[in-house]
Structure 1
């Protein structure tokens, strides 16, 4: 499953969100699963939805995939909290939306920037190597193949 690593990273981030949230309200962080479970369920639904969308984002680490997961996680997690009798005050919804957005989309944005930077460096290295080689590509190919010995067609 190519999207399993992204699901694991996202699940860990949702658990961190729950632990920090409980600790910030002087609640026992040990009960973080009570806070996290609706968001974990919604997170799984978000990944499934992102995978099934027509014209979907193809990479689970892409920012677009993360946006789908984020929106479904916040909406679904909040809805599950309310349906199961827990509260979902407006302040909680705002904090959950912002925090989960930073976490679920943020790591993907950082990954995209790192990949883009690596690709730019590789392209620059490739061009730098090309300018150091011969001007005539055929001459370069024939000189590289000269060490291979005689060729038969």
Structure 2
């Protein structure tokens, strides 16, 4: 007997299975805005870090430093399914932040880039402030907007 029919073999009717609710992605504009903010802020982190170590700006150097974190950011977006709620602080924000740092540091290790403890600490804090901070600001702005009356 199928799962959608009423089964009375045990004496109790079994209701048909409820349809599975599908999560609808956020509007495309929200997804693009959130992704751009994340990518740009990770780049800002890289540029600040390179300038604070007197490494200056070079496209090759910037890309070398940026790519591990950019891949970490992409992993964070994929694992957390950020397109569903891209402005969320806890979800997907925390996952994106932690995976950006974790994957970024792992890739820096395998590509023979530095992963000193002090760098890991600073990167974790700065990337967290950047990726969670803009989401917190967006949430505060959204909360202050008057709601349309229905």
- Match in the other structure for 1:115: 142
- Match in the other structure for 1:75: 102
Alignment partner for residue 85 of structure 1, among 106, 112, 120? 112
Shift of 1:34: 1.3
The CA RMSD measured in Å over matched residues stands at 1.8
- Match in the other structure for 1:62: 88
- The structure with the largest helix share of the pair is 1
Q: How does 1:5-84 map to 2 (within 5 A)?
A: 5-30=33-58, 31-51=61-81, 58-64=84-90, 65-84=92-111
Whole-angstrom CA distance in 1 between matches of 2:68 and 2:35: 15
Task: Please say if residues 77 and 83 of structure 2, whose CA atoms lie closer than 8 Å, have aligned partners that are also in contact.
Answer: no
Q: Pick the structure with greater CA Rg.
A: 1
Whole-angstrom CA distance in 1 between matches of 2:43 and 2:57: 10
Shift of 1:57: 8.7
Q: How many residues align?
A: 118
Whole-angstrom CA distance in 2 between matches of 1:5 and 1:50: 17
Whole-angstrom CA distance in 2 between matches of 1:45 and 1:89: 23
- Match in the other structure for 1:133: none
Q: Return 5+ residue gaps in structure 2 as ranges.
A: 1-26
Shift of 1:94: 0.4
